[in-house]
Amino acid sequence: MNSTIFTLYLLIIGIIQISASKNQTKFSLTTPSLLLQFDTSTSNVLSSIQSTDPTDPTSTRTFSNPSATLFSIEIVNATSLFTIDSKNPTATRTLTSTTPTQTTATWSYPQLSTTVSLHFTSSEPFINIVPSITFPDNINHGIATFTLSIPMNPSTEDAVFFPDSYGVESSGTNGYSGTYPSAAAAMQHMAISSSTGPGIYVAAHDKSGDWKELGYDGSTCFHVKIVPVGATKPVPTWSAEYSVSIAALPKITDSNPLYKSASELYREFIFEEPAAEWLRRGMIKNRLPDHLKNSHVWLNTGWQCHDVFEDVQGDPATAQGRVEDVVGLWRDLGMKTPVGLHYYEWQQGPDPDPSSRYLFDTHYPDYFPGRVSSSGTTVKQFSKTVKETLDVYTYPYINGRIFDLTCDSYIADDGESVCVKVPSSMKLFSSSNTDLSVPTENYGSGPDFCIANPATEYWQNKIGATVEELVNEYGSSGVYIDQVASASMNLCYDPSHNHTIANGHWWRNGYLGMFNKIHELVGDSTNAPMVTESNSEIYMDMVEGYLPLTAFAKPFASSSNGNILVPAFSFVYGGYYNAFGAEFYQADFTDIPYLRSKIAGMLITGTQIGWFSLGGIEDDACGEMGLYDLFMDKENLDVNQYIVDSANIRSELVDFFLNGRQYPNPVADPAPKIAGTNWEYLDVMTGTWVSEHASEVVVLLCNVADSDKQFTLTLDFTTYGWKEGDQYKMDGSDEVFTVDSGNVQVVDMDVESTGIEVLRFALVQ
């Protein structure tokens, strides 16, 4: 992709220079555009990182921060946990085994007879850093955590990128912390750069999905906190299973925003063979049933941010009436494609008395039987009717992660044996004397839950059987399995679970086992697709739909330099996942351009639109969410039409969203303006997608404002992977253009208020 850029620098071979004087050793390790300098006489050792902008060799920037602590390690012995770090004044620092492309910096702690090493290898474009530790004996010490930091000296001119859900950017002095894998750390790369100088990429390069914490304090450093596989067990030596890797990033430009330059490097790592585990099933298109590929709009029966849900929403007859009204209206307005329905509060439990019904977030994983309306309508009849008459596909809600400590299954089946367990106090692990406790969670719905360990056969079978009953007995088209991709992995120290203590590949493999069990029982995913909340990367091969609610909790624009959504996930993983849904509120209808911007935000990021709530109770803290009455209000016919039009445009372009990748937008002049008072958004929302084999580029432009907009759009097709000399046409014209370095295509745009324009360009084959 950047082949021309990198060729220039390939000429410079990675080199290490060493100069020694008395007891001071300085050395440097380079990749073509990154230079690390060390000084063993200073407490920090990694004294500076210098980055050269590959697009501008005269532009360099040095990152150094003496107050950063390069590493900090939590060590356990038989009685307690203690910490050592890189700044310890008694540590002696040396360099060993230095060759032109690698070196090892070592800290020796005489009182502990312990040595800590950071092994640096230069492997273009990355410098990979792997920590290791050696203890004096085989039995007395273990590691709880190893935190490695990359010093940084940010200014407010910098932008930073974090892998929060779809990706966020904000001002360089804003901090971040996310536990991977989870909604808050869906990928593993972070970055900093500015429009005036080059920057740095900092990532965990792990292809197995283990737990880690990614963070940035906004002033002194980025960090990756590693928990070893088998953490706290006695070990003579330990070496990290993966590297923390850094690389130079160019200055930020319009066509090369920070998220793109950083994500290009991350993608290079993730897709390099052997590719990450979660890519092994290939592209998503082969795993989706036609109805899910084409469910451009989603509904839910009703939800509330607190776990207090409207009771009547899940009553089959009530849900059916609401779905028939709203989808019937949309059909009248011209929507032809299927609709996905996320079905809450469908469960009754064993006692048919309505007052004994199993409410939301109670009794998990016990649900059956399903509700029956007073009119006699069952869950199955409802699901079957809306599918046959309205092309609506029902996905009942279950939870794939938590186990109610008071439910029948927990009591009958020794639920505690399945729960994730942690040491009561952190010390050296020994299966005989380590006191374990069960962490619990409470969502305000009443019961306490433990976290069911997905690596246990019990949980895999339990969720498998639940899904089997829903699909085979209740007519469900698929199942929504909550929390899997949104909640963090939990470290578990229970040796009876047959997995490595604390961290390990067992969490991902456990869920993989659970989804494999499900498909063994209900057929493959084209027969019964599974969906979950959020878009954590490691579940990509297990689910056919991500509900990225927290991605859309960030705005697309911020006048105060707060977090904004950037489409990093669709740039890295376009073609390998499917996503649907954002949170909508009644209050959105008080600012219709803003409401349009939320719908447009989903359209331009390739996300299936909606997840509009049909019911919901009033709740001051959450805001009101039930939209049924608003959709049925004649005053809001335009909103309904906007949803239908957006769905129809999505339908025309579905191959781009399903199989293609999202790229940075062409430059608009004048640029879209930040609008809105209560909630900020861009008045023109733009999304640019490149087709699967890069033969087509499409630009969607949604004018969500109440006035018409004129602007020019400048496209540089080399940004989208086209090469000099490539010939292309613009949709609607026979003229043939040639991609020419330094030449760009300028298009005059006139987009009327609420209009959605589509520009398509295709290579002439």
Cβ–Cβ < 8 Å for 380, 368:
no
Task: Give the per-residue contact string, 51-90, with ligand NAG (x = CB under 6 A; - = no).
Answer: --------------------------xxxx-x--------
In whole angstroms, the minimum distance from the beta carbon of 87 to ligand NAG comes to: 12
Q: How many CB atoms lie within 10 A of CB 17?
A: 13
Cβ–Cβ < 8 Å for 589, 629:
no
CA distance readout (Å), 27 to 19, 47, 99, 152: 6, 10, 11, 19
Q: How far apart are CA 530 and CA 520, in angstroms?
A: 13
Cβ–Cβ < 8 Å for 365, 479:
no
Stretch that binds ligand NAG, among 408-416, 493-501, 554-562, 676-684 (CB under 6 A): 493-501
The nearer residue to ligand NAG, 368 or 458, going by C-beta atoms, is 458
In whole angstroms, the minimum distance from the beta carbon of 427 to ligand NAG comes to: 8
Q: Which amino acid is at 450?
A: C
Considering only residues 497 through 526, tell me which ones interact with ligand NAG, judged by CB under 6 A. 497-498
In whole angstroms, the minimum distance from the beta carbon of 230 to ligand NAG comes to: 17
The nearer residue to ligand NAG, 11 or 412, going by C-beta atoms, is 412
Q: How far apart are CA 615 and CA 136, in angstroms?
A: 63
In whole angstroms, the minimum distance from the beta carbon of 675 to ligand NAG comes to: 55
Which residue in 11, 22, 111, 353 binds ligand NAG (CB under 6 A)?
22
Asked whether position 23 contacts ligand NAG by CB under 6 A, the answer is: yes
Task: Give the per-residue contact string, 303-342, with ligand NAG (x = CB under 6 A; - = no).
Answer: ----------------------------------------
Q: How far apart are CA 536 and CA 546, in angstroms?
A: 9
In whole angstroms, the minimum distance from the beta carbon of 211 to ligand NAG comes to: 19
Residue 502 DSSP class: B
258 burial type by CB count under 10 A (0-12 exposed, 13-18 middle, 19+ buried): buried
Long-range pairs of 447-450 with CB within 8 A, sequence gap ≥ 24: 447/361, 447/362, 447/363, 447/404, 447/405, 447/406, 447/407, 448/404, 448/405, 448/406, 449/364, 449/402, 449/403, 449/404, 449/405, 450/402, 450/403, 450/405, 450/415, 450/416, 450/418, 450/419, 450/420
Count of residues interacting with ligand NAG (CB under 6 A):
13
The nearer residue to ligand NAG, 23 or 237, going by C-beta atoms, is 23
The nearer residue to ligand NAG, 80 or 712, going by C-beta atoms, is 80
Asked whether position 425 contacts ligand NAG by CB under 6 A, the answer is: no
In whole angstroms, the minimum distance from the beta carbon of 112 to ligand NAG comes to: 8
Look at residues 296, 297, 292 and name the one whose alpha carbon lies nearest to residue 631: 297
Helix runs in 524-591, H state only: 568-573
In whole angstroms, the minimum distance from the beta carbon of 77 to ligand NAG comes to: 4
Stretch that binds ligand NAG, among 17-25, 518-526, 602-610, 747-755 (CB under 6 A): 17-25
Q: How far apart are CA 110 and CA 431, in angstroms?
A: 30
In whole angstroms, the minimum distance from the beta carbon of 488 to ligand NAG comes to: 21
Q: How many CB atoms lie within 10 A of CB 256?
A: 18
Stretch that binds ligand NAG, among 19-27, 369-377, 588-596, 655-663 (CB under 6 A): 19-27
The nearer residue to ligand NAG, 425 or 496, going by C-beta atoms, is 496
In whole angstroms, the minimum distance from the beta carbon of 248 to ligand NAG comes to: 31
Asked whether position 416 contacts ligand NAG by CB under 6 A, the answer is: no
- Sequence-distant (6+) residues with CB within 8 A of 306 are 444, 619, 621, 622
Determine the distance from the C-alpha atom of residue 336 to the mean position of all C-alpha atoms in its chain, rounded to a whole number. 31
The nearer residue to ligand NAG, 241 or 457, going by C-beta atoms, is 457
Q: How far apart are CA 357 and CA 344, in angstroms?
A: 13
In whole angstroms, the minimum distance from the beta carbon of 140 to ligand NAG comes to: 6
In whole angstroms, the minimum distance from the beta carbon of 40 to ligand NAG comes to: 9
How much is the CA Rg of the chain, to the nearest whole Å? 27
CA dihedral 199, 190, 493, 234 (to 10 degrees): -10
Task: Give the per-residue contact string, 453-472, with ligand NAG (x = CB under 6 A; - = no).
Answer: ---xx---------------
Q: How far apart are CA 118 and CA 103, in angstroms?
A: 8
Determine the distance from the C-alpha atom of residue 218 to the mean position of all C-alpha atoms in its chain, rounded to a whole number. 21
The nearer residue to ligand NAG, 80 or 286, going by C-beta atoms, is 80
The nearer residue to ligand NAG, 69 or 348, going by C-beta atoms, is 69
Stretch that binds ligand NAG, among 151-159, 492-500, 624-632, 644-652 (CB under 6 A): 492-500
In whole angstroms, the minimum distance from the beta carbon of 27 to ligand NAG comes to: 17
Q: What residues make contact with ligand NAG under the rule CB under 6 A?
A: 22-24, 77-80, 82, 456-457, 496-498
